[in-house]
Amino acid sequence: MHNELKITDMQTLESNKKTTEESNNPVCLNLPDFTTDSYKDAYSRINAIVIEGEQEAHDNYLSIATLIPNELEELTKLARMEMKHKKGFTACGRNLGVVADMEFAKKFFSKLHGNFQIALEKGNLTTCLLIQAILIEAFAISAYNVYIRVADPFAKKITEGVVKDEYLHLNYGQEWLKENLSTCKDELMEANKVNLPLIKKMLDEVANDASVLAMDKEELMEEFMIAYQDTLMEIGLDNREIARMAMAAIV
């Protein structure tokens, strides 16, 4: 008798817990309708941006390897992850019946892509690492963290796997810059001044489409700043230097 009561109590507790969890989960309540034309139209550009971004990230890590040949193995690993990400996001678009607008995405990245290529030609490794492993990765991390909260279940699962890798990539750039800070600080500051405004422009450009996917611009900026500032702190810059660098986004 005593035992039976115990089991019943536990079941009641368990089912209460479930109800509370479900009703307290705002993520479940605010998901957009993934089947509307307006959602698919916005997704055709955002999905393309992400696919193009992953492809360029792949190419950029292999390019960076030409500047640090003894890191070839590690950088090839990172590049491989980017190809996996590209495949994952391609599947997300296919799953929703969306055709990615790759032409739009190429234009979206063209200025940053150009700056990376110039730095590569000049052998400016610090600039290459800042553009790819800090700015682009922090941008991707902010986008993916926000997207996970409002994505369809298929894309959510894929994006959760991807964002874990992106932190490894951010960390790669961070550790190299940390070790070489004394010799690369000036170039880092200068490259940031040129390229952070481009990231801000890209965010402005994508904000409308992102809002159709229920992604909030303020949240994107907040997530970006967290990843960006955290990394600069880990690299070994002080508060004033970090503030000065972040300020480049608002001029």
Q: Which is nearer to ligand PL3, 11 or 38 (CB)?
A: 38
Quick check: 224 and 237 in contact, CB under 8 A? no
Residue 134 per-residue DSSP state: I
Residue 231, classified by CB atoms within 10 Å of its CB into exposed (0-12), middle (13-18) or buried (19+), is buried
119 touches ligand PL3 (CB under 6 A): no
| CA atoms within 13 Å, Cβ hemisphere of 69 | 0
Pick one of 34, 54, 63, 124: the residue that binds ligand PL3 (CB under 6 A).
Answer: 54
The closest alpha carbon to 36, from 26, 25, 46, 44, belongs to 44
In whole angstroms, how close is the CB of 22 to Fe ion at the nearest point? 32
Give me the 126-155 binding string for ligand PL3, x by CB under 6 A, dash otherwise: ----------xx-xx--x---x--------
- Find the binding residues for ligand PL3 in span 167-186 (CB under 6 A): 169
How many chain residues are in contact with ligand PL3, going by CB under 6 A?
Answer: 20
Please name the residue that has the structure tokens 């360029």.
56
Of residues 17 and 80, the one with the C-beta less far from ligand PL3: 80
Joined tokens for residue 200: 């801000």
Binding track over 98-117 against ligand PL3, x by CB under 6 A? --------------------
- Beta carbons of 180 and 125 less than 8 angstroms apart: no
- Residue with token string 């980017």: 82
Contacting residues toward Fe ion, per CB under 5 A? 54, 57, 82, 85, 166, 169
Contacting residues toward ligand PL3, per CB under 6 A? 46-47, 49-50, 53-54, 57, 82, 85, 89, 136-137, 139-140, 143, 147, 166, 169, 206, 210
